[in-house]
Amino acid sequence: MSFGGPPPGGEQQGQQGYGYGYPQQQPYGYGYPPQQPQPYGQPPNGPQPDPFPGAQGGHTPDWSALAAASEARSRRKRRLMIGGAAVAALAVGAVVATAVVVTNKNNDQAKNGAAPTGSAAPTGTATPAPTFSSVAPLPPPDPMDFISDAKKDKAPLSAEGLFPGKKLTMNDRPYQKGATSSTTNCAAVTQGGLGTVLRNNGCTRVIRATYVKDGVAVTVGVAVFPTDEQATKAKQQASGGIAPLAGSGVGTFCQKTVCLRRTNSIGRYVYLTQTGFTSGKKVTTGDRPVFQTADDLGTFAFNQIYARGRAQASAAAGAPGE
C-alpha cells in the first residue's frame, strides 16, 4: 500500500502518487480522460451548470437583481401587514360603535323613564331580594270549633235556616216538607224518657221539621246544647224519641204504632229522626223505604249543621286581624 511515496524501481517523470494501491493516473484525473488546460475563468470542455439560475453574467450572481427581488418581497409583506391591521381596526371600530349605540339607547330609555310593565327599582338602586317570614302561617279555622261551643257559634239559628225551602232532594229522591217548629221547652217535644235526658244535659232548644214521600213520613229534630260534651252525653243516654210533627199536608203518624227511631250528634247538636207510615202501619226490618227515608233526613241534618260551622270558619278566616 502506498502512502504517497515513489513507487519501487524509481520515479516517473511528471507523475505523483495518490493511489492508495490504485493504478497511477494523470494529475487531477481521478479516472477521467486527460484534459487540456483551459484559460483561467473559462469552463473546461463546454458550458457548466449555472450555480445561480436566473442570474446574469455566467457564474457570478447578479447581486443587484437579487437585492431588488428581496426588497420587493419585503414591500409585499409590509403591505399585507398594513392591510390586515386596517381591517382589524375597522372591525374593532364597528364593535365600539355598536356598543356606543346600545349604551346610548339604554341611557335614553333610562332618562325617558321607559321602564317595563310592573314594579321596578329606581335607576342605580339594587332590586331588593324577596323576604320570607320564618313564622309558619296559622292553619285555617276548623268548622268544628264553631259548632262545638255556644261561645263561638253565634250565627242565627232557626227552623227555616236549618230546613230551608218547601222540599229537598237526596240522591234523586224528592221529599215534600210539612210543618216546622222551634221551642226552648225541650222535654215538651219528646216521647218516652228523652225529655228528661235532654233537660238533664242542658238542652236549650229543639227545632223540628217533617218530610213525606210515598206514604212514609219522618220528623227530624235538632236539640241544641251549650257544649259538645253535653251533646255527647245526651246522645249516649237517649231513650224514647222525638215527637212526630203533623200539619201542613202531613197527617198524624207514629201514634200507638211501631216506628223507626235514630239518634246521633255532631258538635253541640243532637239530631234525631222518627220515621213511619202515614197509614199507621207498623214498621218492620224489611221496610226498606222507611230506613232509606231515615238515612236521607239524618244525612241532611248532619250536612246542614256542619255547613253552619264551615260558613262561620270561612268568615273568620277572611276577617281582618284573624
Q: What is the DSSP string of 60-96?
A: S--HHHHHHHHHHHHHHHHHHHHHHHHHHHHHHHHHH
For the stretch 131-161, pLDDT in tens is 666 666 677 899 999 999 999 999 999 999 9
Residue 303: closest CA among 140, 170, 151 = 170
For the stretch 167-178, pLDDT in tens is 999 999 999 999
The mean-pLDDT minimum among 65-69, 196-200, 248-252 falls in 65-69
Spell out the residues 6+ positions from residue 19 whose beta carbon is closer than 8 angstroms to its own.
2, 25
**What average pLDDT is seen over the chain?**
76
The confidence band for 279, taking pLDDT boundaries of 50, 70 and 90, is very high
For the stretch 202-230, pLDDT in tens is 999 999 999 999 999 999 999 999 999 99
The mean-pLDDT minimum among 21-30, 73-82, 245-254, 271-280 falls in 21-30
Q: Does residue 26 have a pLDDT over 70?
A: no
Mean pLDDT over 271-285 rounds to 97
What does the pLDDT read at residue 317?
87
What does the pLDDT read at residue 3?
39
The confidence band for 322, taking pLDDT boundaries of 50, 70 and 90, is very low
The more confident residue out of 82 and 18 is 82
Phi-psi region of 172 (alpha: psi -120 to 50; beta: other; left: phi over 0): left
Distances (CA, A) of 9 to 5, 6, 12: 12, 8, 9
**Reported CATH class of domain 150-314:** alpha beta
What does the pLDDT read at residue 128?
65
Return the bridge partners of 253, or none. none
Contact 194, 241 (CB under 8 A): yes
Phi-psi region of 44 (alpha: psi -120 to 50; beta: other; left: phi over 0): beta
> Could you tell me the residue ranges of all domains in the chain?
58-100, 150-314
Distances (CA, A) of 167 to 7, 127, 145, 160, 204: 157, 61, 30, 12, 27
What does the pLDDT read at residue 166?
95
What does the pLDDT read at residue 318?
80
For the stretch 29-41, pLDDT in tens is 444 444 454 444 4
For the stretch 99-130, pLDDT in tens is 444 444 444 443 444 444 544 444 555 566 66
Q: Name the helix (H) or strand (E) containing 180.
A: strand 173-183
Q: Does residue 73 have a pLDDT over 70?
A: yes
The mean-pLDDT minimum among 53-67, 193-207, 223-237 falls in 53-67
Q: Does residue 49 have a pLDDT over 60?
A: no
Report the helix count and the strand count for the chain, using DSSP H and E: 6, 8
The confidence band for 5, taking pLDDT boundaries of 50, 70 and 90, is very low
Q: Which residues of 27-53 are buried (b: 16+ CB within 10 A; e: fewer)?
A: eeeeeeeeeeeeeeeeeeeeeeeeeee
Looking at mean pLDDT, say which of 23-32, 116-125, 306-315 comes out highest. Answer: 306-315
Q: Whole-model pTM?
A: 0.58
What does the pLDDT read at residue 71?
72
Mean pLDDT over 242-260 rounds to 96
3-state secondary structure 190-232: EECCHHHHHHHCCCCEEEEEEEEECCEEEEEEEEECCEHHHHH
What does the pLDDT read at residue 86?
53
